[in-house]
Structure 1
Amino acid sequence: MQVGIDQIGFYTPNKYVDMVDLAHARNEDPNKFLIGIGQRKMSVADQTQDAVSMGINATLRYLDQVELAKVGLLIVGTESGVDQSKSASLFIKSALNLPVNVRTFEVKEACFGMTAGIMIARDYVRLHPNHSAIVIGADIARYGVNTGGEVTQGAGSISILIKADPQIMTLNDGHSAYSADINDFWRPNDSPVALVDGKYSKNVYLDFFKHTYTAYQTQTGSKTSDFTALLYHLPFVKMGFKANQLAIEKEDEETKKRLADNFTASACYSKEIGNIYTASLYLSLLSLLENAQLPENAKIGLFSYGSGAMGEFYSGQIVNNYEQALHKTADQTMIARRQKLSIPEYEQIFNRALQVPEDGLELASDEQSGMWYFAGTENHVRQYRQK
């Protein structure tokens, strides 16, 4: 029995900032952001979007194709949790009307959280082959206006259905993991924005990639030339580009071109949306699937990284006719529908979103009909509504 990814759902908020505009406002050369960082735009979440609402919206992309009675597990990986106790997954389960017997919880380890959820879901389905599992990564990357990390912000969610005999990608046996207690990035309980040692974090990311990728090759006997594509967690596109260069530097020209071309395809959506923490690696996967032509049984390598720090490398095989299970037109429409913000508009929306709304104040959403949003709190209980 093979277990893997059967469906992928995607959501990003309906506003964005252009990196050229941001560069001009910060008195920077636009090429520093466009080339040096590798970003073109970044999605901006207003006060009505959070990890819960984005996770709901991403899952709704495919929920009508799921046998709800067979869903046995719902996991949310996030570092943008809405409560110190109650899981984001319970709000999502309620909105999606999932069965009462679904086991559900939230996972946290920086940007590694969704991968942790997928590994748990994979093992769950292997033991319960008649059940499926929903795994969601949903995050808002915030460093603050006019900070060093500002250009690496973003917002969005990816939702994945894990089941037996999947339509998109099977998950191979074997993985390599590497962890260490370090302080390259963190967000204290009393801070609405993350703290990061940017240069140190870049070095740790590349070091963890080398550790996990080398260990995976030793464990499985895999060669770089065996892979159709290598995918990366993309806090910003240039970070993954550097890791990919390390992987291909000693390879033949055919392998270099294939992996370079497919990296470019995998980064298309991240360039437009920015950093979405736990879901970034799986946005890379979605981008590859919808922007590249992959051969039958293509082998895909995935490098997951979460600051603090946890890294893992694993792989999967693309299923024949995977394209039929994608929602390419809807996904690209989702990106294209966004409203461009001026820099003053972006700064106002960003700073307002850092504030906790007054209890009892009802928030209104400017999203399109059918989308879910955070509507404020009543007696300090979070309220979610559908537009």
Structure 2
Amino acid sequence: MKVGIDKLHFATSHLYVDMAELAVARQAEPDKYLIGIGQSKMAVIPPSQDAVTLAANAAAPMLTAEDIAAIDLVVVGTESGIDNSKASAIYVAELLGLNRRVRTIEMKEACYAATAGIQLAQDHIRIHPDKKALVIGSDVARYGLNTPGEPTQGGGAVAMLISADPQVLALGTTTSLLSADVMDFWRPLYHTEALVDGKYSSNIYIDYFQDVFKDYLKTTHTRPETMTALVFHLPYTKMGLKALRSALPLVDDDQQKRWLAHFEHARQLNRQVGNLYTGSLYLSLLSQLLTDPQLQPGDQLGLFSYGSGAEGEFYTGELQPDYQLGLDAGLPQRLARRRRVSVAEYETLFNQQLQWQAEDQVVSVADDPHRFVLTGQKAEQRQYLDREA
């Protein structure tokens, strides 16, 4: 029985800041951002959106009544959780109108957690093939204004429906894993922005990729050239390119050129959004599937998931005959329709995020076009609105 990704859909803000403009404001050469980190635009998340609303906005458009009836597991991977106890998945399930006989959990391990959710969901579906699982990677990446990590911010959510006989990608059952206590990136409970040792984190990322990729090849007796493309977690797109380059010596010149060409498609949409932590790998996968004309059913894709702190996993999937039917086909057009904000507007929105305090707060949603929005906080409870309810 095949189990894997049946549908993928993405949501982010309707706003972005131009990276060349941000570079000038930060007295940096534009090419440092455009080429050095490989980003052209960065999603600006307004205070009316958080990990819950982004997740719901990503999932709702792809779910049919049949899907909703079959879902009995919801996993939200996030490092932008809104409560230290209550899972964001419970809010998401309620907003989506899911059956109450559903298991709802939140998973955390930096950018890796959505992959853990997919592995859990696969096992669940193999036991219950008549059911479906909803796995969402949803995050708002924040490092602070005028910090070294600022140009690698962003945000959004990728929703994936996991099922038997999937439309998009049948996932393999063998993976390679690596984890260790590494202080390359962390966020103490008293911090609203992440702390990161940037150069060290970049080195650990590449080390982990090389380890799990080579281990996968060894344990599965797989030749690297049998993989049509390698898809990476992309906190910024240059990071994935560095990792890919480290694998090129394993294949001949023709395969190297093919891998590099496929990678340009895989990072196309991430360049326009920026970092979304747990969803970054899966936005790259969606970008690959939407924009790469050289893909064919039956192609094997290798996926590298990484979460700082640190945990890495490599696994593969086989592209299915009708994979285009399960994709968020309107995504490139939606990204093109976003409104560009000035650096000053971006900074104002960054500072207007809902505060971590007990007092009631009101958030303006007048300019937010999304179905699900955060309207504020009352009696220490976040207030969400479904505009179609």
**TM-score under structure 1 length normalisation:** 0.97
Describe the SS at the equivalent of 1:344. helix
**TM-superposition CA deviations, 1:347-374 (whole Å, max 9, x none):** 1111122634774433222455552111
Describe the SS at the equivalent of 1:249. helix
Uncovered stretches (5+) of structure 2, i.e. residues with no partner: none
**TM-superposition CA deviations, 1:191-244 (whole Å, max 9, x none):** 100000000000000000011001000011112211111000001001000011
Q: Write the distance in 2 (CA, Å) between the matches of 1:254 and 1:357.
A: 57
Uncovered stretches (5+) of structure 1, i.e. residues with no partner: none
Q: Is the 8 Å Cα contact of residues 24 and 30 (structure 1) preserved in structure 2?
A: yes
**TM-superposition CA deviations, 1:295-324 (whole Å, max 9, x none):** 120000000000000000000000012112
**TM-superposition CA deviations, 1:148-185 (whole Å, max 9, x none):** 00000001000000000000000012100000001000
Q: Write the distance in 1 (CA, Å) between the matches of 2:36 and 2:103.
A: 43
Is 1:247 equivalent to 2:247 in the alignment? yes
For 1:280, give the aligned amino acid. S
Q: Which residue of 1 aligns with 2:206?
A: 206
Q: Which residue of 1 aligns with 2:319?
A: 318
For 1:6, give the aligned amino acid. D
Q: Is the 8 Å Cα contact of residues 42 and 274 (structure 2) preserved in structure 1?
A: yes
Q: Which shows bigger deviation, 244-253 or 213-222?
A: 244-253
Q: Is the 8 Å Cα contact of residues 269 and 287 (structure 1) preserved in structure 2?
A: yes
Q: Which residue of 2 aligns with 1:124?
A: 124
Describe the SS at the equivalent of 2:362. coil
Q: Indicate how the Cα distance of structure 1 residues 65 and 219 shifts in structure 2: closer, same or farther if over 3 A, else same.
A: farther
Q: Which residue of 1 aligns with 2:155?
A: 155
Q: Write the distance in 2 (CA, Å) between the matches of 1:354 and 1:67.
A: 33
Q: Is the 8 Å Cα contact of residues 357 and 376 (structure 1) preserved in structure 2?
A: no
Q: Is the 8 Å Cα contact of residues 14 and 367 (structure 1) preserved in structure 2?
A: no
Is 1:362 equivalent to 2:362 in the alignment? yes
Q: Write the distance in 2 (CA, Å) between the matches of 1:369 and 1:141.
A: 21
Q: Which residue of 2 aligns with 1:8?
A: 8
For 1:289, give the aligned amino acid. L
Aligned length: 386
Q: Write the distance in 2 (CA, Å) between the matches of 1:193 and 1:186.
A: 9
Structure 1 residue 49: Cα displacement: 0.6
Structure 1 residue 60: Cα displacement: 1.0
Q: Is the 8 Å Cα contact of residues 77 and 113 (structure 1) preserved in structure 2?
A: yes
Give the 5 Å matches for 1:1-387.
1-64=1-64, 66-293=66-293, 294-328=295-329, 330-353=330-353, 355-356=355-356, 359-366=359-366, 369=369, 371-387=371-387
Describe the SS at the equivalent of 2:22. helix
Q: Which shows bigger deviation, 37-46 or 241-250?
A: 241-250
**TM-superposition CA deviations, 1:334-357 (whole Å, max 9, x none):** 212211111111111111226347
Q: Is the 8 Å Cα contact of residues 354 and 361 (structure 2) preserved in structure 1?
A: no
Q: Is the 8 Å Cα contact of residues 192 and 354 (structure 1) preserved in structure 2?
A: no
For 1:317, give the aligned amino acid. E
Describe the SS at the equivalent of 1:353. coil
**TM-superposition CA deviations, 1:19-47 (whole Å, max 9, x none):** 10011001111111111100001001111
Q: Which shows bigger deviation, 217-226 or 282-291?
A: 217-226
Describe the SS at the equivalent of 1:98. coil
Q: Write the distance in 2 (CA, Å) between the matches of 1:197 and 1:109.
A: 17
**TM-superposition CA deviations, 1:115-167 (whole Å, max 9, x none):** 00000000000011111100000000000001000000001000000000000
Q: Is the 8 Å Cα contact of residues 14 and 338 (structure 1) preserved in structure 2?
A: yes
Q: Write the distance in 1 (CA, Å) between the matches of 2:318 and 2:250.
A: 24
Structure 1 residue 249: Cα displacement: 2.7
Q: Write the distance in 1 (CA, Å) between the matches of 2:247 and 2:378.
A: 52
Q: Is the 8 Å Cα contact of residues 370 and 386 (structure 1) preserved in structure 2?
A: no
Q: Indicate how the Cα distance of structure 1 residues 72 and 306 shifts in structure 2: closer, same or farther if over 3 A, else same.
A: same
For 1:8, give the aligned amino acid. L
Q: Is the 8 Å Cα contact of residues 144 and 150 (structure 1) preserved in structure 2?
A: yes
Q: Indicate how the Cα distance of structure 1 residues 366 and 231 shifts in structure 2: closer, same or farther if over 3 A, else same.
A: farther
Structure 1 residue 76: Cα displacement: 0.3
Q: Is the 8 Å Cα contact of residues 168 and 323 (structure 2) preserved in structure 1?
A: yes
Describe the SS at the equivalent of 1:101. coil
Describe the SS at the equivalent of 1:99. coil
Q: Is the 8 Å Cα contact of residues 183 and 309 (structure 2) preserved in structure 1?
A: yes
Q: Indicate how the Cα distance of structure 1 residues 367 and 266 shifts in structure 2: closer, same or farther if over 3 A, else same.
A: farther
Q: Write the distance in 2 (CA, Å) between the matches of 1:319 and 1:259.
A: 20
Structure 1 residue 250: Cα displacement: 3.9
For 1:307, give the aligned amino acid. S
Q: Indicate how the Cα distance of structure 1 residues 368 and 50 shifts in structure 2: closer, same or farther if over 3 A, else same.
A: closer
Q: Write the distance in 2 (CA, Å) between the matches of 1:66 and 1:24.
A: 50
Q: Write the distance in 2 (CA, Å) between the matches of 1:84 and 1:127.
A: 31
Describe the SS at the equivalent of 2:213. helix
Q: Which shows bigger deviation, 280-289 or 243-252?
A: 243-252
Describe the SS at the equivalent of 2:374. strand
Describe the SS at the equivalent of 1:81. coil
Q: Indicate how the Cα distance of structure 1 residues 370 and 341 shifts in structure 2: closer, same or farther if over 3 A, else same.
A: closer
For 1:295, give the aligned amino acid. Q
For 1:213, give the aligned amino acid. F
Q: Indicate how the Cα distance of structure 1 residues 172 and 204 shifts in structure 2: closer, same or farther if over 3 A, else same.
A: same
Q: Write the distance in 1 (CA, Å) between the matches of 2:376 and 2:368.
A: 18
Q: Is the 8 Å Cα contact of residues 224 and 250 (structure 2) preserved in structure 1?
A: no
For 1:15, give the aligned amino acid. L
**TM-score under structure 2 length normalisation:** 0.97
Structure 1 residue 66: Cα displacement: 4.1
